[in-house]
Amino acid sequence: MTTDTTVTELNTAAAILAAIEDPSGREIHDPATGEIVGRTGEGSPADIDAAVAAARKAQPAWAARTSQERSELLNKAADAIEASAEALAELLSREQGKPLNGPNARFEVGACAAWLRANASFELEPEVLVDDGETHAELYYRPVGVVGAVGPWNWPMMISVWQFAPSLKMGNTVVLKPSEYTPLSVQALVAVVNQVLPADVLAVVPGDGAVGAALTSHADVDKIMFTGSTKTGQAIMRTAADNLARITLELGGNDAGIVLDDADPAQIAGDLFWGAFINTGQTCAAMKRLYVPESLYDQVCQALVEVAGQSPMGVGLEEENVLGPLQNKQQYDIVARLVEAAKDGGARVLMGGDPVADQPGFFYPTTLVADIDNDNPLVAEEQFGPVLPIIKYTDLDQAVEWANELEVGLGSSVWGTDLDACRQVAARLEAGTTWINKHGAVDPRVPFGGVKKSGFGLEFGLEGLKHVSVPQVISW
């Protein structure tokens, strides 16, 4: 429905669940406790057909609104999220597992509102390409049509907004397919936002991989946005070829951080830790491997142990916790396997690495691993959990070579006090984004995307708007 003011009936977790739950649907369990969070309906390819048809029908009227009118509605959607913020954060914490505090559930809900407001503020003006007295050419960006968006389970609400906020701003309509692990969070977000958006402009269809495939292969979907694994991204790319749908893929990463020999271990330890352990390490652009010069190695290791020891892990609804469980058993098993591979390879576990037997939930302890070979599976594969391998180097060129040798390239970082030296190293790293003295610090104004098998296309900022549009040149 559409209203002139924000509707606030969905301001408790119980009210939101009542609005979105299917009493006969599939149970969703809290990964921290095993308790039932709620029940989700399961869509079908036929539901995708219906949602896409409705989105196709609604799109011309939505595109006919002025950019300012669409921005006003995006700001009202942000107001609606803020009015329901605590309820959304509680549901997110219970379904995904992330704690309320720290860079977690409340942070994620706040980011949803912030990204909507940022996109509402962007204006993609026509560009004059040539004006020489004989030829005048201008470049315009038009709506692409219907956007099909498939999101992950690690930041289910925030990444959904990354997909639909710029799409809606440019006059597209959107059909979302959330992860099977976190469908309630995305359905809740859409229910809150749809209090102020016109009907059928934004829809969500939960379901399994067949439902996702029905969306990404749909003949009436003009643009596909996907965040997830490289393997699934490759499959989407193959199916999209039949329809020549435009694609933005944000895929897996194994981000490297390089500490330079002039860094201050005590000063950077906190940012190093959260660069790696944000969302309990379940972030595509988290730092997954850290290269430290021999001269600072012991100091950096000790500083990280101290920060980790002050970062409690536990059930997300308990206010003191800032680290939570792995979201699902499959991811838990991957993390456990890679830590065992590190132990088998002779690495030294500084802390963690020994999960408590028979503990409820998918908790893997905060784990720091030192004296590990660069070719160990814990370094070469993406762990996507609360584990950080710390690799010693004696030659900076070798560290850069190690950082670049993998087939992924989402993010990277360089740490030191000489900014010129940091920038020189950053320029040598093969990644879509390289941060200096921070890691994973995304900004709605700054384009973000990967290289190599971490995907292609850009999100955020004016470039992000261009990637959910089609260019048109008008020349006379």
Residue type at 314? G
Q: Confirm if 355 and 333 have CB atoms less than 8 A apart.
A: no
Q: What is the pLDDT of residue 119?
A: 98
Q: What is the pLDDT of residue 357?
A: 84
Write the CA distances from 336 to 279, 341, 342, integer angstroms: 17, 9, 10
Q: Is the pLDDT of residue 101 over 90?
A: yes
**What fold characterizes domain 13-252+454-475?**
Aldehyde Dehydrogenase; Chain A, domain 1 (3.40.605)
Q: Confirm if 439 and 431 have CB atoms less than 8 A apart.
A: no
Place of tokens 């469908």: 183
- With CA atoms as reference, report the closest residue to 81 among 163, 154, 22, 165: 165
Q: What is the pLDDT of residue 433?
A: 98
pLDDT tens across 46-61, in order?
A: 999 999 999 999 999 9
pLDDT tens across 14-58, in order?
A: 999 999 999 999 999 999 999 999 999 999 999 999 999 999 999
Average pLDDT over residues 182-203: 98
Using a 10 angstrom Cβ sphere, with 0-12 exposed, 13-18 middle and 19 or more buried, the burial of residue 476 is exposed
Rounded CA gap, 218 and 425, in Å?
Answer: 43
Average pLDDT over residues 64-79: 98
- From 250, 382, 430, 459, the catalytic residue: 250
Q: Is the pLDDT of residue 139 over 90?
A: yes
Average pLDDT over residues 257-277: 98
pLDDT grade for 405, boundaries at 50, 70 and 90? very high
Distance of alpha carbon 245 from the chain centroid: 22
Q: Is the pLDDT of residue 7 over 90?
A: no
pLDDT tens across 311-355, in order?
A: 999 999 999 999 999 999 999 999 999 999 999 999 999 999 999
Q: What is the pLDDT of residue 11?
A: 87
Q: What is the mean pLDDT of the chain?
A: 96
Q: Is the pLDDT of residue 8 over 60?
A: no
User: Is 430 part of the annotated catalytic residue set?
Assistant: no
Average pLDDT over residues 375-387: 98
Q: What is the pLDDT of residue 62?
A: 98
Predicted TM-score (pTM) of the model is 0.96
Rounded CA gap, 297 and 390, in Å?
Answer: 9
| CATH number for domain 255-436, candidates 1.20.1730.10, 3.40.309.10, 3.40.109.10, 3.30.1490.190 | 3.40.309.10
Using a 10 angstrom Cβ sphere, with 0-12 exposed, 13-18 middle and 19 or more buried, the burial of residue 299 is middle
Q: Is the pLDDT of residue 410 over 70?
A: yes
In whole angstroms, how large is the CA radius of gyration of the chain? 23
pLDDT grade for 13, boundaries at 50, 70 and 90? confident
Q: Is the pLDDT of residue 212 over 70?
A: yes
Across 394-467, where does the E strand assignment appear? 408-409, 411-415, 433-436, 451-452, 455-456
pLDDT grade for 463, boundaries at 50, 70 and 90? very high
Q: What is the pLDDT of residue 446?
A: 98
Of all residues in the chain, the percent with pLDDT exceeding 90 is 96
pLDDT grade for 436, boundaries at 50, 70 and 90? very high
The helix (run of H) or strand (run of E) holding residue 64 is helix 45-64
Write the CA distances from 278 to 72, 104, 291, 311, 438, integer angstroms: 32, 8, 19, 11, 12
Rounded CA gap, 416 and 393, in Å?
Answer: 15
Q: What is the pLDDT of residue 1?
A: 36
Q: 4 or 435: whose pLDDT is higher?
A: 435
Going from N- to C-terminal start, the domains of the chain cover 13-252+454-475, 255-436
Average pLDDT over residues 351-364: 93
- With CA atoms as reference, report the closest residue to 388 among 265, 237, 287, 462: 287
Both structure tokens of 414 = 């360089």
